[in-house]
């Protein structure tokens, strides 16, 4: 296989070693600062349309196993690494990272200066890029990049949402978070019913809801409010997902209608942004986004600091929300951006970070406890 070539929109050309599929891809390049959990990151649907640059220096040593998928397949467009492990050594591994990516048509490049690229993205902001592992000339890759429209204003959710509604039948993550997934005899009828709008949901969100004793029904992103309410939910969750919320006017309108139902609502990441738009707020693009498992967030009422997992390129502007209706609950200690909010006097809350983590710290799991308290 020929050398891999990565070309950025400013014309910068990076050469390295190819792995994964023989392919060419164009994408938005972002960096992720997590030290562990590369498989969970690569299967997070929020990365659709993006290539992930890992800042950790060595990737691939524990291989890939089906238990840690956050969706059915890798969702990224490309992978950029400093060093790829030549072996996978873990008793749970069923395949290697290069073999897994190759099977799903995703190219990767290693042996590149990821510190240089990360600093470049921090200084100049997120960039469009193209990667080829099949010998595409750099000039051709640059044409691909400059002809690609990017993610702003596009609906990326339709590529990752479920095709039809389904009941979550996976495990309830009790071995991770200490909750019991075993309901007492006769309790199934009393179990709270969560309807989750799938904008690209991670499986660990569903596990957490199930671990709180709930029945979980996942519905496609385009499901009308009337159809969701016909399922007789006790609460609604607006999931994470990829891209720009401005490209989802149908979802914003659905959230507006759901707000009229009086049901408890929890928004996570993209779901948080959609809630902000439904409340009349505005969303802006961050310079290089938040991607990693080490982001400090402050609880504004207690002053406590959570270390959180995050993955987003857009954020809600708090000054555009009606303070008489919306209370800011959490703020980023890195850049001051809005990380959490709730409606005053109503069972509606949302967070920009990922309380389910996977991969990441468990500091924020209490979000699910707080949300479920609305059902008591």
Residue 277's SS3 state is helix
Six-digit token pair at 32? 């992720």
- From 225, 330, 354, 372, active-site residue: 354
- Could you tell me which of 36, 86, 94, 40 has the C-alpha nearest to residue 64? 94
Please name the residues in contact with 175: beta carbons below 8 A apart, sequence gap of 6 or more. none
CB of 108 within 8 A of CB of 38? Answer: no
* Dist CA 264 CA 133 (whole Å): 48
Give the angle subtended at the CA of 290 by the CAs of 288 and 291, to the nearest 5°. 105
- From 28, 77, 356, 372, active-site residue: 356
Kind of pairing between the strands at 348-351 and 338-343: antiparallel
Active site residue 354: yes
Active site residue 317: no
CB of 38 within 8 A of CB of 60? Answer: yes
Active site residue 208: no
Rg (alpha carbons) of the chain, rounded to whole number = 20
Six-digit token pair at 27? 């994408």
CB of 20 within 8 A of CB of 81? Answer: no
Residue 205's SS3 state is helix
CB of 40 within 8 A of CB of 27? Answer: no
CB of 248 within 8 A of CB of 278? Answer: no
* Dist CA 237 CA 27 (whole Å): 29
SS3 string, 247-273, reads HCHHHHHHHHHHHCCCCCEEEECHHHH
- From 225, 269, 315, 372, active-site residue: 269
Residues serving a catalytic function are 269, 354, 356
């Amino acid at each position: 296989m020929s050398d891999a070539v990565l070309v950025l929109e400013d014309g910068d050309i990076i050469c390295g070693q190819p792995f994964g599929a023989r392919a060419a891809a164009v994408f938005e390049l972002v960096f992720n600062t997590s030290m562990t959990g590369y498989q969970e990151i690569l299967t997070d649907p929020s990365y659709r349309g993006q290539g992930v640059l890992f800042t950790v220096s060595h990737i691939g040593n524990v291989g890939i196993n089906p238990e840690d998928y956050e969706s059915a397949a890798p969702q990224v467009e490309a992978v950029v690494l400093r060093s790829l492990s030549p072996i996978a050594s873990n008793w749970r591994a069923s395949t290697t990272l290069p073999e897994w990516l190759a099977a799903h048509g995703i190219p990767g490049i290693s042996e590149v200066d990821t510190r240089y690229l990360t600093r470049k993205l921090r200084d100049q902001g997120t960039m469009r890029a193209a990667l080829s592992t099949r010998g595409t000339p750099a000039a051709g890759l640059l044409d691909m990049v400059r002809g690609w429209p990017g993610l702003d204003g596009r609906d990326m959710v339709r590529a990752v949402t479920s095709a039809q509604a389904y009941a979550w039948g996976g495990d309830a993550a009790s071995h991770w978070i200490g909750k019991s997934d075993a309901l007492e005899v006769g309790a199934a009828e009393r179990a709270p019913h969560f309807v989750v709008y799938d904008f690209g949901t991670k499986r660990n969100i569903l596990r957490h809801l199930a671990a709180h004793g709930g029945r979980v029904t996942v519905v496609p992103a385009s499901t009308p409010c009337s159809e969701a309410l016909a399922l007789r939910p006790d609460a609604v969750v607006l999931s994470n997902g990829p891209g720009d919320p401005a490209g989802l006017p149908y979802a914003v309108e659905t959230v507006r209608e759901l707000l009229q139902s009086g049901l408890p609502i929890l928004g996570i990441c993209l779901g948080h942004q959609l809630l902000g738009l439904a409340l009349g707020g505005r969303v802006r693009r961050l310079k290089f986004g938040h991607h990693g498992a080490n982001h400090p967030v402050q609880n504004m009422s207690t002053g406590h600091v959570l270390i959180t997992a995050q993955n987003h390129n857009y954020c809600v502007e708090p000054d555009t929300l009606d303070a008489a209706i919306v209370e800011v609950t959490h703020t980023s200690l890195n850049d001051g951006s809005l990380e959490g909010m709730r409606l005053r006097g109503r069972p509606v809350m949302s967070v920009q970070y990922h309380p389910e983590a996977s991969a990441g710290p468990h500091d924020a799991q209490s979000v699910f406890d707080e949300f479920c308290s609305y059902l008591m």
